[in-house]
Amino acid sequence: MVKRLPELKDLVKAIGRPLRVATMCSGTESPLLALDKIGAATGQIYDAPLGVDHVFSCEIEPFKQAYIERNFAPPILFRDIRELDGDQATTAYGALVDVPGNVDMLVAGTSCVDYSNLNNEKKDIDEAGESGQTFRGMMTWIKKHEPPIVILENVCGAPWDKIAERFRQQGYQADYTRLDTKRYYIPHTRTRVYLVAVRKNPGETFIPADFPTEFKAIGSLASKEVKDKEGNAKKMKPTGKKLVNRLSEDADVAEQKARPPHTGPHTTAFAW
């Protein structure tokens, strides 16, 4: 997939430093695993490895906290996303520490329990359920620190129109699409909705109008071989390049370069 997006080389060089990433409701930290693979591929293909600075994680389940600590050792592992609206929050070890805000990209998957089709007593995003509380905790941190890029994942039954509108109210361009993991090199069927939000100034546009189509086109190319009428493999032109171009335009790059580097002990440029 990285071969089909040569603009990633320009993006890595334009940023000029590791990408500062935070995760909330971190689970198995699959975004960091994916970024590892992307970094390896950009290094091998374009001689421009994407580095990642893991700023913090946030996970409330003790067994997942243990998994994250063993496998990723984040500089900070917060316990509860609902506490991240303040200047300080409690870690998984019970310490009270400052909440970082110097982040380029936030990846989150807030609680889905109140949106699940298996729940007979669903609650809306504005109610006092777990899903609404975790979403509002995340949005309060976003409103305070304004990360340039946010990626949010949740079940298909979540109120996605409302969620996208909340991001727009905070000055983001936001769009979402439904995807199945089996179309992206993962041997597992897991249909979820993913929202991408990009911080913008009035009049700016970063996410193309055909955003869902472009993402699905990348997936279909990755998961199956397309053949012509004679049965020969057919080359198809990928359509996902526009999104990379939009996300790497001058406004985002300037904002990222203007921020001071994170000084935590876990800055890593992956060398593969």
Torsion-angle region of residue 171: left (phi > 0), alpha (psi -120 to 50) or beta?
left
The amino acid at residue 88 is Q
25, 58, 112, 156: the active-site residue: 112
Going by C-alpha positions, the residue among 129, 142, 209 that lies closest to residue 169 is: 142
The Cα–Cα gap between 227 and 25 comes to 41
Q: Is 58 a catalytic residue?
A: no
Q: CA Rg, the chain, in Å?
A: 19
State the residue for tokens 């300080």.
88
99 with 84: CB under 8 angstroms? yes
Whole-Å CA distances, 179 to 19, 213, 223: 25, 11, 13
Residue at 267: amino acid letter = T
**Encoding tokens for residue 259?**
């921020």
- Per the CB < 8 A criterion, the answer to whether 148 and 172 are in contact is no
* Catalytic machinery residues: 112
